[in-house]
């Protein structure tokens, strides 16, 4: 069972006037098979947590530890993290000009699996995964994220998730900008991967909407760069009714 353990994580970003601490002591353990929702107000540091786990160079870890099955994740390069099974679906996926979806997926799969997937089975695998996500076949020939609609970007992220089969999946605001139909399709994709029991999911979201489709095992409220409260699915219902005010009062991010 893969286990991601985050202990007392502190992260800063370079801002005007010097480094600014965004994460202020995050503690979280995610096991394979579990789904954790991370919920919190804008600016509380949710994306910073996601990027820090994936190894984005803009974020400097100033304290704490992150391990995957006891291995030091913070010592790993971005590629090594991906190979170790950490997957990040970004809140704002970036364009990769000149690289088709098809090539991108195969290159990623080769990197993560350690060998190129056999062409014939791979083509079938991709085709079937695209069908399940109601993605048009012509999509495979387009350049990654170039001119993609919000919904297309998110479906593409879930397509990667389905094909790469990580042990830890970090999904940052995968519900943002989706209409009801796209939200359902994307959620079904996440649930399919979840049902394998082989992935631990960190579902980062501002709104409770996606939790109607993906039922979390644990819910954490994120405020001011750390987890302010943890509970079960009922905590999300409380947030739906009461919002985040109780957690940000007096604290704010400054
Ligand atoms: N690269 C960066 N440079 C400067 N400030 C940043 C950077 N990334 C995040 N921040 C700041 O860190 C805080 C947390 O941002 P973020 O992690 O995106 O929050 P959330 O995802 O919860 O909305 C915000 O105040 C944001 O402005
Ligand atoms: Mg964010």
Which residues in 14-29 are b (16+ Cβ under 10 Å) and which e? eeeeeeebbbbebebe
Note the maximum CA span of the chain.
59
Residue 249's pLDDT is: 67
Closest residue by Cα to residue 158 from 189, 130, 183, 195: 189
> What is the predicted pLDDT for the residue at 251?
52
Please provide the DSSP assignment of 68-137 as one string.
ETTEEGGGS-HHHHHHHTEEEE-SSPPPEEEEEHHHHHHHHHHHHHSSPPPHHHHHHHHHHHHHHTT--G
- The verdict on the CB of residue 204 being under 6 Å from ligand 1 is no
Per-residue pLDDT at 252 exceeds 70: no
Check: pTM over 0.85? Answer yes or no: yes
Taking 70 as the threshold, does the pLDDT of residue 118 lie above it?
yes
Residue 254: the pLDDT is 43
Contact yes or no for 142/105 (Cβ under 8 A): no
Q: Cα torsion for 116, 119, 125, 129, to the nearest 10°?
A: 80
The CB of 44 under 6 Å from ligand 1? The reply is: yes
For 198, the 3-state DSSP assignment is coil
Q: Given a cut of 90, is residue 5 above it in pLDDT?
A: yes
Give the ligand whose atoms come closest to the C-alpha of residue 26.
1
- How far away, in angstroms, is 58 Cα from ligand 1 center? 11
Pick the CATH number of 3-248 from 3.40.50.11820, 3.40.50.300, 3.40.630.30, 3.90.550.10: 3.40.50.300
Q: Give the chain's length.
A: 254
- Name the residue among 182, 111, 172 with its Cα closest to residue 149: 182
Identify the pLDDT of residue 184: 96
Distance from residue 106's CA to the centre of ligand 2 (Å): 28
Residue 145 CB–ligand 1 contact under 6 Å? no
* pLDDT tens profile 65-112: 999 999 999 999 999 999 999 999 998 998 888 999 999 999 999 999
Residue 221 CB–ligand 1 contact under 6 Å: no
pLDDT mean over 125-154: 93
Which are the contacts of 245, defined by CB distance < 8 A and separation ≥ 6?
none
Q: Whole-angstrom Cα distance, residue 197 to residue 81?
A: 20
Tens of pLDDT along 165-205? 999 999 999 998 899 999 999 999 999 999 999 999 999 99
The domain ranges of the chain are: 3-248
CA distance linking residue 215 with residue 234, whole number of Å: 10
Q: Is 5 helix (H, G, I), strand (E, B) or coil?
A: strand
151 backbone dihedrals φ, ψ, rounded to 5°: -65, -40
3 state DSSP class of 147: coil
CA of 127 to the centre of ligand 1 (A): 37
Share of the chain above pLDDT 90, in %: 90
What pLDDT is stored for residue 177 in this prediction? 86
Mutation probe of ligand 1 site: the residue of 13, 23, 39, 60 with most atoms within 8 A of C-beta: 13
Q: How far apart are CA 254 and CA 240, in angstroms?
A: 25
């Amino acid at each position: 069972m893969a286990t991601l353990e985050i202990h007392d994580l502190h992260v800063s970003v370079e801002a005007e006037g010097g480094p600014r601490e965004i994460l202020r002591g995050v503690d979280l353990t995610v096991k394979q098979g579990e789904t954790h929702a991370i919920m919190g107000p804008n600016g509380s540091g949710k994306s910073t947590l996601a990027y820090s786990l994936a190894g984005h160079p803009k974020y400097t870890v100033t304290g704490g530890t992150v391990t995957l099955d006891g291995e030091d994740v913070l010592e790993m390069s971005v590629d090594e993290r991906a190979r170790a099974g950490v997957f990040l679906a970004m809140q704002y996926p970036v364009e990769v000009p000149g690289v088709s979806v098809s090539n991108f997926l195969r290159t990623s799969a080769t990197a993560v699996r350690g060998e190129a997937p056999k062409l014939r089975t791979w083509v079938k695998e991709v085709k079937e995964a695209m069908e399940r996500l109601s993605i048009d076949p012509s999509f495979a020939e387009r350049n990654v994220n170039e001119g993609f609609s919000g919904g297309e970007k998110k479906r593409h992220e879930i397509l990667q998730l389905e094909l790469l089969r990580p042990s830890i999946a970090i999904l940052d605001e995968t519900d943002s900008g989706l209409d009801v139909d796209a939200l359902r399709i994307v959620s079904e994709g996440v649930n399919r991967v979840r049902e394998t029991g082989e992935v631990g999911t960190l579902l980062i979201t501002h709104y409770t909407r996606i939790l109607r489709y993906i039922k979390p095992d644990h819910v954490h409220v994120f405020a001011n760069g750390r987890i302010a409260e943890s509970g079960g699915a009922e905590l999300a219902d409380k947030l739906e009714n009461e919002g985040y005010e109780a957690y940000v009062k007096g604290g704010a991010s400054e």
